[in-house]
Amino acid sequence: MAQVTGKPLAGKVLVKPQEVEQKTASGIFIPDSAKEKPLTGTVVAIGKAKKDEEMEVAVGNTVLYGKYAGTELNIDGENYLLLSQNDVLLIL
């Protein structure tokens, strides 16, 4: 994974989503139309803490987030998701 230039604003988290499974455990290939969006990813950058709440996630954490959370970004050919820390449901 390449180094991301830039830094998220206060309270924001930049996540690299986990890769989507290409085939099932039994070896059946999954078509693109049947693939579900991943709900976990690795934190690659965080913004500063807001005045009223501390940043609980750290770079390198694996997190679980909501299905419709965040904004999808493409930076230098890589797909990322920009989330508010409030959109993170669980740190794994």
Q: In the chain, what are the domains?
A: 12-91 (2.30.33.40)
Q: How far are the Cα atoms of 44, 46, 85 from residue 7, in angstroms, in the given order?
A: 10, 7, 14
pLDDT means over runs of 10, the chain (92 residues): 78 89 73 73 93 91 92 90 94 92
Listing from the earlier edge strand, what are the strands of the sheet with 88-91? 71-75, 78-84, 12-17, 40-46, 62-65, 88-91
Q: How many CB atoms sit inside 10 A of residue 75's CB?
A: 15
Return phi, psi of residue 46, to 5°.
-135, 155
What does pTM read for this prediction? Answer: 0.81
pLDDT of residue 37: 74
